[in-house]
């Protein structure tokens, strides 16, 4: 039996009884695997974290039998047997937790599993917390290994589907796509661009946080929070850089003041739009990288375990040498927004405004 450590990736504050009420987007933001099954074992829901660690596209697993089609390694008395007994359990409030090892061709994953049921419905949930990732077990029967993406969709490369080395689907999109999106938004709802792109970034960042957490677990066996901050910053910068968004560098020199500075050189978002300050419109000093700011806020909030806000305060599209994003606590956002709304730019202006603003008690919620 594996020993489950005291600290679990599943937060102690997580209310598992509400799992069925959560949207798919909310399940995707969770830092552990979630699979919903009917009483026969057919997969009804499958969140992003589970998809990432199993390297399977959720669209290919929904509607399939978990025990026979997706994870034959669980077709045992220790796993499927427990599930069948749980389905027949008379007590609707009962929850079962046990340890297991998922065996894939690319490696073994030591996990803890919690079984939950939805009262008055024939739906059951598996909450799956990865404890450790190891090399494949050489003595494990090949026919019992969990499915690979290429097994579920063997001809998808002929159907316009691209996947990376970890079986994640991606789209080869030029930077001009973001320029076209901004142009369209400015034409139809010019005042909504910043709000729209920031929120879009936040939603993307929540999924990025899951992706980063999964990658670190696979590579190091530890969570992001267990790594030194300098290494975390490097991993975050590498993630965005490898996807062509530019080179991010983290400046921790102002963290004693509650400010994290992130400079982005060669931002794809800034370079994808025309220069926003021109001779014809010298007063126009819009910023272009709200998408990146929103994404950074979600990623860093997930790592810090508290709500943070990121704002772009300088942009190469408006004439600066590079794009600068400040990350602050949620409670201090008003001071930064007031400076930006007044048309002032620059890290020094933001830092001065924050020094003058009263420090509020920062919530950990």
Please write down the HEC assignment for all residues of 18-83: HHHHCCHHHHHCCCCEEEEEECCCEEEEECHHHHHHHCCCHHHHCCCEHHHHHCHHHCCHHHHHHH
Are 160 and 151 in contact by the 8 Å Cβ rule? The answer is no
**pLDDT reported for residue 187:** 86
Q: Are residues 183 and 326 in the same domain?
A: yes
Q: Are residues 221 and 286 in the same domain?
A: yes
Q: Are residues 131 and 178 in the same domain?
A: no
Average of per-residue pLDDT across 19-37: 91
**pLDDT reported for residue 217:** 84
Q: Which residues constitute the domain of residue 199?
A: 173-356
**pLDDT reported for residue 300:** 93
Q: Are residues 177 and 93 in the same domain?
A: no
Domain C-terminal end among 127, 157, 187:
157
Q: Are residues 124 and 211 in the same domain?
A: no
On whether residue 164 sits in a domain, the answer given is no
User: Which CATH number do you get for residue 63?
Assistant: 3.30.450.20
**pLDDT reported for residue 110:** 94
Lowest-confidence segment of 48-52, 112-116, 271-275 by average pLDDT: 271-275
Q: Are residues 125 and 29 in the same domain?
A: yes
Count of domains observed in the chain: 2
**pLDDT reported for residue 10:** 60
pLDDT tens string 287-325: 889 999 999 999 999 888 889 999 999 999 888 899 999
pLDDT at 268 over 70: yes
**pLDDT reported for residue 34:** 96
Q: Give the pLDDT band of residue 104 (cuts 50, 70, 90).
A: very high
Q: Are residues 203 and 115 in the same domain?
A: no
The model carries a pTM of 0.81
On whether residue 167 sits in a domain, the answer given is no
**pLDDT reported for residue 365:** 43
pLDDT tens string 110-147: 999 999 998 777 899 999 999 888 889 999 999 999 99
Cα–Cα distance measured from residue 313 to residue 335, given in angstroms and rounded to the nearest whole number: 13
Domain C-terminal end among 157, 183, 203:
157
User: Which CATH number do you get for residue 209?
Assistant: 3.30.1380.20
pLDDT at 361 over 50: no
Domain C-terminal end among 157, 189, 208:
157
On whether residue 4 sits in a domain, the answer given is no
Strands 107-117 and 96-104, bridge-based pairing: antiparallel
Mention every residue, 6+ apart, whose C-beta is less than 8 A from residue 75: 67, 68, 144
On whether residue 8 sits in a domain, the answer given is no
pLDDT tens string 70-99: 999 999 999 999 999 999 987 777 889 999
On whether residue 168 sits in a domain, the answer given is no
On whether residue 362 sits in a domain, the answer given is no
Q: Are residues 178 and 323 in the same domain?
A: yes
On whether residue 51 sits in a domain, the answer given is yes
On whether residue 46 sits in a domain, the answer given is yes
**pLDDT reported for residue 359:** 60
Q: Are residues 144 and 188 in the same domain?
A: no
Q: Are residues 149 and 216 in the same domain?
A: no
Q: Are residues 337 and 216 in the same domain?
A: yes
Q: Are residues 205 and 131 in the same domain?
A: no
pLDDT tens string 177-186: 888 888 888 7
């Amino acid at each position: 039996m594996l020993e489950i450590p005291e600290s679990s990736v599943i937060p102690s504050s997580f209310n598992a009884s509400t799992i069925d009420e959560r949207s798919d987007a909310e399940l995707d933001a969770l830092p552990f695997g979630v699979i919903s099954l009917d009483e026969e074992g057919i997969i009804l829901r499958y969140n992003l974290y589970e998809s990432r660690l199993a390297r399977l596209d959720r669209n290919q697993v929904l509607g399939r039998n978990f025990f026979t089609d997706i994870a034959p390694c669980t077709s045992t008395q220790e796993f499927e047997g427990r599930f069948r007994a749980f389905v027949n359990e008379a007590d609707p409030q009962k929850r079962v937790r046990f340890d297991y090892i998922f065996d894939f061709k690319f490696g073994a994953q030591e996990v803890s599993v919690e079984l939950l049921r939805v009262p008055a419905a024939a739906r059951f949930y598996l909450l799956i917390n990865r404890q450790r990732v190891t090399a494949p077990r050489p003595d494990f029967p090949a026919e019992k290994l969990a499915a690979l993406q290429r097994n579920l969709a063997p001809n998808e490369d002929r159907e316009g589907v691209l996947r990376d080395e970890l079986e994640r689907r991606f789209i080869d999109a030029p930077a001009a796509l973001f320029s076209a999106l901004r142009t369209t938004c400015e034409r139809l709802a010019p005042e909504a661009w910043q709000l729209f792109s920031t929120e879009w970034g936040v939603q993307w960042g929540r999924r990025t946080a899951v992706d980063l957490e999964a990658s670190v677990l696979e590579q190091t066996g530890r969570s992001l929070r267990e790594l030194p901050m300098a290494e975390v910053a490097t991993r975050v910068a590498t993630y965005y850089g490898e996807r062509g968004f530019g080179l991010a560098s983290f400046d921790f020199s102002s963290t004693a003041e509650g400010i994290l500075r992130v400079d982005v050189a060669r931002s794809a978002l800034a370079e994808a739009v025309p220069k926003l300050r021109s001779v014809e419109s010298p007063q126009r000093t819009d910023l272009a990288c709200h998408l990146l700011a929103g994404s950074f806020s979600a990623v860093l909030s997930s790592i810090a375990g508290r709500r943070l806000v990121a704002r772009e305060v300088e942009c190469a599209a408006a004439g600066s040498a590079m794009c600068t994003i400040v990350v602050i606590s949620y409670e201090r956002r008003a001071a930064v927004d007031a400076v930006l709304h007044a048309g002032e730019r620059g890290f020094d202006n933001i830092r001065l405004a924050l020094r003058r603003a009263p420090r509020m008690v920062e919530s950990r919620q």
